[in-house]
Every structure is written in structure tokens, then in C-alpha cells.
Amino acid sequence: MVFERISASPEKVWEMIGGFDSLPDWLPYIPNSNVSEGGRVRQLANPDGDTIIECLESFNHKERNYTYSIMQAPFPVTDYLFTIHVKEDTGGKSSLIEWSGSFTPVGVSDEEAINLFHGIYKDGLEQCNMHF
């Protein structure tokens, strides 16, 4: 699980990161995203040109969260299910982004898989924070 406090209202933060197709706006690891199937599937490209295909499993605009799974990726994991949640922090003037999830490592240790995703998500949330 990765957390980031941001000095902006939850509404402003959700406006930036709440769209399932918004990753290129704030996650440096993903420079390109295309959605299909009515916005439920996104095809991403990383800087190495690898394709990542993810499926939106649930979306709650009111609660400011969505959950997605990976259908195809170069990552050494299976059963990948993650949630991004923007919460109110200290009276609505700042936010706490929580990026949490689960997966099963394949061919690598639990620690290696955790470190891979922790690095990607921590860097992404820090970049998101720079927009505010």
C-alpha cells in the first residue's frame, strides 16, 4: 500500500486522477493510454514500449475510488487487483491518496514484486503531488 498526502481538496485531486484513462496526466511510467469497451479497458504503454492492458472492475465517483485488474502486462505477477482511493485529509483542504492491492508473484520473490509496484506507485503519487 502506498500513501501520498496532497495539499488540495479531494475533489481537485479526483478530478486529476479519477478518470480511468488519466494515468498519462500524472504517472510518468505511463506516457500513453487508450480506452476501449466503453471505457472499461485501457491499453497502456510504458517507456520501454511494453503493452499493459487493464480492466476497470469497479468505479465509485462519489467515494472517489476505482479498482482495476491486469489482463496483460510484462510484470512478474498474476491475480493483480488494485484500488486507487482519494480520501479527505484534515477538514477537506487536503487529500490522502491510497493505492492498494494484491497480486501473486511469478518467478520472483514477494519482496521483489512488492518493491516493483511500490516504486512505480510511489513515484507516480509524488509526481501527482507536484501538480498541486
The residue ranges of the chain whose pLDDT is under 50 are none
Rama region for 49: left / alpha / beta (φ>0; ψ in -120 to 50; rest): left
- For residues 2 and 21, give the distance between their C-alpha atoms in angstroms, rounded to a whole number: 20
Q: Where in the sequence is the domain holding 21, given as residue range(s)?
A: 2-130
Domain count, the chain: 1
- Count helices and strands in the chain by DSSP H and E runs: 3, 7
| pTM of the shown model | 0.91
> Residue 99 — φ and ψ, nearest 5°?
-120, 110
* CATH assignment at residue 80: 3.30.530.20
User: Tell me: the pLDDT tens digits for 111-124?
Assistant: 999 999 999 889 98
Q: What is the structure's pLDDT at 29?
A: 83
Q: Is the dihedral of CA 19, 21, 24, 28 positive or negative?
A: positive
